[in-house]
């Protein structure tokens, strides 16, 4: 699903009106008619109810006037509360206000009330309280300052009413680009948005305010959308399912690739096992796990299908830089390498990681201590020829770029997209609404997953899944998307049985069934 910013939507509207020739009045009519239909479907039957339309003076209010007209034509008792002096209305909004005013004279039970200021709100508050459904047409997508005064009082009333609230384009008070609340915002039951979903509908906390979201086609031509070249998308099942083609009946284990996993250190063998086992459960033909020599007997009891290879180690039992040469031999005929889960950060281990990143010619999936080993050495990513996928959580991302975790969380999209471009890597920035940021500037938001997944080992499973998909021949960007989406689905399945308390090891065995359920 395409997601757009407020500026992108404004540009597309402008091109549609001024270059293509569809009048703004037509776009507003399409928007209002579609929203009125959605209102009737989602919150109907409307006939016995009183509907209040709270309209601002901009185009969002104009959409509300159109909705009011359609409701009145169906003899729905409709009251339009204009939160402005009518003399301040202009353009298409004013034209539709005048049409609604004319129609109201022929619609018993409907009325128009002007509330230009807080004193007017106080006079009409009792009437507002006794409405059954509210239509929020106060602000559109251009809001970027805190809501105050009259509008804050109205929004507080809507949120405290206990009545259904139907928002037009975006809940008033939300920033359309970030989903942040501008002081106060309408908490909608449902939202009708126009042409495309906005980023603010999807990003937290905007997703909690949007309610049920439906996109209304208002007639913007496809070529104008293509010219705008959107870069932000919400992952959907139809994006993922086509990546998994039916398997040839004559396939064998070599048909689905051979993955090398370099992972584990004393006390962290579980991370290595989770990663290798998840790759197998994701459909990879063969997995070899390289681990420090002294840990090989331990890891063999944790994995069955993956093969294990003991490698040179440091005195404390971590992989040493001397493992580089044998790993290069192991990489022959491998399709990808997963590097980092539970690896530790001994100086020799970190040097090994950097050597592998610089000199490995197969796709790399780097996680956990593999990422920590790159701190201060990120430029080595720029010279890689094969695809690279990095999977940091916010803490690891903060270390990579020298920022605080709060700074990462405040600008996940901006930091993620800039990093992916600069370092020519696919960045999987984990957390609620995991982002997959690509070197070409495109970013995909994952809608699956839940707080019950906030537990150790979940990232190791994800690394194994992404690595396994790449090993099977799925391109790195698509494999990252598939990994995070299906990983989240696994978590959602487990959360349906227990909201939290399920370990990462519970996810591994259900990967095949969850993947199967996604396919046609």
DSSP collapsed to 3 states, 36-63: HHHHHHHHCCCCCCEEEEEECCCHHHHH
Whether residue 423 is contained in a domain is answered as no
3-state secondary structure of 259: strand
- Same-domain check for residues 148 and 275: no
Whether residue 23 is contained in a domain is answered as yes
- Same-domain check for residues 88 and 217: yes
Whether residue 370 is contained in a domain is answered as yes
> How does pLDDT run across 108-158, given as a tens digit for each residue?
889 999 999 999 999 999 999 999 999 999 999 999 899 999 999 999 999
Cα Rg of the chain (Å, integer): 27
**Residue 129: how many other CB atoms lie within 10 Å:** 12
Whether residue 118 is contained in a domain is answered as yes
Nearest by Cα to 516 from 241, 238, 235, 239: 241
- Asked whether residue 1 carries a pLDDT value surpassing 90, the answer given is yes
- Same-domain check for residues 172 and 269: no
- Same-domain check for residues 191 and 325: no
Total structural domains in the chain?
2
**Residue 74: how many other CB atoms lie within 10 Å:** 12
CB 282 within 8 A of CB 468: yes
pLDDT, averaged across the chain: 96
pLDDT at 107: 86
Question: d(Cα 356, Cα 327) in Å, to the nearest integer?
Answer: 9
- The residues, any chain, with a CB within 8 Å of residue 34's CB and separated by 6 or more, are 192, 194, 216, 217, 218
CATH number at residue 460: 3.40.1190.20
- The strand pair at 307-311 and 286-292 is best described as parallel
Please give the model's pTM, rounded to 2 decimal places.
Answer: 0.91
- Same-domain check for residues 203 and 285: no
> How does pLDDT run across 150-179, given as a tens digit for each residue?
999 999 999 999 999 999 999 999 999 999
- Same-domain check for residues 204 and 339: no
CATH number at residue 211: 3.40.50.10260
Whether residue 250 is contained in a domain is answered as no
Residue bearing tokens 């496809």: 222
First to last CA, the chain: 19
- Asked whether residue 340 carries a pLDDT value surpassing 90, the answer given is yes
Q: Which domain holds residue 358?
A: 258-415+448-518
- Asked whether residue 409 carries a pLDDT value surpassing 90, the answer given is yes
- Same-domain check for residues 203 and 345: no
> How does pLDDT run across 66-102, given as a tens digit for each residue?
999 999 999 999 999 999 999 999 999 999 999 999 9
Whether residue 443 is contained in a domain is answered as no
pLDDT at 108: 87
Report residue 328's pLDDT band, with 50, 70 and 90 as the boundaries: very high
Whether residue 424 is contained in a domain is answered as no
Q: How would you label 354-378 residue by residue, b for 16+ Cβ within 10 Å and e otherwise?
A: bbbbeebebbbbbbbbbbbbbeeeb
- Same-domain check for residues 514 and 369: yes
> How does pLDDT run across 202-241, given as a tens digit for each residue?
999 999 999 999 999 999 999 999 999 999 999 999 999 9
Backbone angles phi, psi at 100, to 5 degrees: -65, -40
Backbone angles phi, psi at 213, to 5 degrees: -105, 135
- Same-domain check for residues 60 and 178: yes
């Amino acid at each position: 699903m395409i997601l757009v910013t407020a500026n992108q939507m404004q540009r597309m509207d402008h091109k549609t009106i001024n270059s293509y020739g569809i009048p703004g009045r037509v776009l507003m009519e399409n928007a209002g008619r579609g929203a009125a239909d959605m209102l009737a479907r989602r919150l109907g039957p409307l006939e016995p109810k009183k509907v209040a339309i709270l309209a601002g003076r901009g185009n969002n209010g104009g959409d509300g006037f159109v909705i009011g007209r359609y409701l009145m034509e169906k003899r729905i008792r409709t009251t339009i509360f204009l939160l402005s002096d009518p003399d301040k209305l202009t353009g298409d909004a004013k034209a539709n206000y005048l049409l609604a005013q004319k129609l109201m004279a022929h619609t018993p039970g409907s009325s128009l009330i002007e509330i230009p200021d807080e004193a007017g709100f106080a006079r009409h508050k009792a009437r507002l309280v006794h409405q059954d459904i509210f239509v929020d047409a106060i602000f559109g997508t251009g809001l970027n300052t805190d809501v105050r005064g009259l509008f804050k009082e109205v929004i507080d009333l809507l949120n405290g009413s206990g009545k259904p609230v139907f928002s037009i384009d975006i809940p008033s008070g939300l920033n359309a680009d970030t989903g942040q609340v501008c002081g106060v915002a309408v908490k909608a039951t449902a939202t009708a948005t126009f042409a495309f979903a906005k980023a603010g509908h999807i990003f937290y906390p905007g997703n909690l305010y949007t309610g049920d979201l439906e996109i209304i086609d208002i007639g913007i031509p496809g070529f104008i959308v293509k010219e705008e070249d959107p870069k932000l998308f919400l992952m959907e099942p139809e994006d993922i399912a086509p990546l998994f083609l039916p398997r040839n009946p004559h396939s064998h284990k070599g048909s689905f690739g051979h993955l090398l996993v370099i992972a584990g250190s004393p006390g962290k063998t579980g991370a290595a096992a989770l990663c290798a086992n998840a790759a197998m459960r994701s459909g990879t033909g063969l997995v070899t796990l390289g681990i420090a020599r002294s840990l090989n007997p331990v890891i063999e009891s944790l994995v069955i299908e993956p093969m294990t290879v003991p490698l040179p180690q440091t005195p404390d039992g971590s992989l040493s830089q001397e493992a580089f040469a044998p790993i290069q031999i192991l990489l022959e005929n491998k399709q990808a390498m997963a590097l980092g889960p539970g690896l530790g950060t001994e100086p020799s281990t970190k040097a090994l990681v950097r050597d592998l990143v610089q000199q490995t010619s197969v796709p790399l999936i780097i996680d956990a201590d593999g990422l920590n080993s790159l701190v201060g050495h990120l430029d080595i990513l720029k010279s890689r020829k094969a695809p690279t996928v990095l999977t940091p959580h916010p803490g690891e991302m903060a270390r990579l770029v020298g920022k605080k975790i709060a700074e990462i969380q405040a600008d996940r999209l901006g930091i993620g997209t800039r990093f992916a471009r600069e370092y020519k890597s696919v960045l999987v920035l984990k957390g609620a609404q995991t982002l997959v940021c690509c070197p070409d500037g495109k970013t995909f938001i994952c809608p699956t997953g839940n707080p019950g997944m906030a537990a150790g080992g979940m990232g190791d499973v994800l690394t194994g899944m992404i690595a396994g998909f790449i090993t099977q021949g799925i391109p790195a960007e698509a494999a990252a998307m598939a990994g995070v989406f299906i990983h989240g689905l696994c978590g959602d399945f487990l959360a349906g049985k227990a909201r939290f308390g399920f370990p990462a090891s519970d996810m591994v065995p259900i990967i095949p069934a969850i993947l199967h359920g996604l396919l046609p």
